[in-house]
Structure formats: C-alpha cells, structure tokens
Amino acid sequence: RWVGFPVRVTEIRPTVWAWVDFMISLAAIMNRMVQYEDVDPNAVTRAFSALADPARMAIIDRLGEGPASVSDLAEPAGMSLTGMKKHLRILEDAKLVKTEKRGRTRFCELSAEGFDEAAFWLDEFRRRRHKQLNRLEELIEKRKKERENE
C-alpha cells in the first residue's frame, strides 16, 4: 500500500540505516511542504528544459564528480568553448550550475537551488499521484467486496 512517500512500506528494510534514510527523506518532504508556496513554476520549467538536452545532461553528470573549468568540460565533449559557454549559461539560468572566475579561468560546479525546485515539484507530483492511486485501490477493493457479497 502506498503511503505519501516515494517508497512502499513493505520495501523499507528493517535496519537502522534504512530507518535513518527514511526519516531523512520524511524530514526533507516535510520541509519542502512548508516551502511549497515559494516554488516558482518558471524555475521548474527552466530546470527541466535545461536538462532536456543530452549535452547539458553530460555536463551535469561530469560536474557531479566535482568542479571543472570550462575548457575541462568542452574538450572531452568535442565542443568549442563558445558552445560550452552557451550550454553553461542555460544551466546557470536554471540555477543548476554556478560559475566563478579565478584569474583567467572560469570554474563550474553544481548548484543545489535548481535541483531542489525540480525535486520538490517531482515529490509533490508523486505524492498527489500516490494519493489518487490509493483512492483508486480503495474503490476497487470496495467494489470487489460488494460483488462478493451479492
């Protein structure tokens, strides 16, 4: 049976670490629920639009390993510096990446802000769908019992 979280109760392993993970997830969801009014739908749209491009997904994947310079990102991708800067600008606008100039080199790293907005939207979407599925499941069970009693 679905609870309001992205996990089935029967899938929670009865270990201390599983419960710790579960409680951290619960705290994050509760924190986001309080902040729901602050979610900017345009920010979520920008984040998903930015992530829709395979080149930008590759950039995000690479930056998941740690900060990198623009040239470190461009070279393995076979991309010009200008092309890489355009992709980075889109990722920055979506608040998925932040850049900082150190001397003559621009360094890039992941930014949690855009990911948090998108993750919250997904969690909220998932919670609503689970609630609908629970209601549907209850209705089906009710109809089954009614048919059995006929």
- Average the pLDDT over 9-35 and give the result: 53
Residue type present at position 34: V
Q: Residue 55 is part of a domain; what is its CATH number? A: 1.10.10.10
Give pTM, 2 decimals.
0.61
Please give the helix or strand (H or E) that residue 101 lies within, else none: strand 97-102
- H/E stretch holding 69 reads strand 68-69
Q: Which residue reads 């419960």 in tokens?
A: 19
- Domain span at residue 115 reads 9-149
CA–CA gap between residue 120 and residue 128 (Å, rounded): 12
- Asked whether residue 1 is domain-assigned, the answer is no
What is residue 69's predicted lDDT score, i.e. its pLDDT? 94
- Structurally, the chain folds into a number of domains equal to 1
CB of 95 closer than 8 Å to CB of 47: yes
Would residue 4 count as lying in a domain? no
Whether residue 138 lies inside any domain: the answer is: yes
Whether residue 3 is contained in a domain is answered as: no
Q: Which two tokens stand for residue 126?
A: 């998932």
Arithmetic mean of pLDDT, 83-95: 94
Q: Which residues pair with 32 in a beta bridge?
A: none
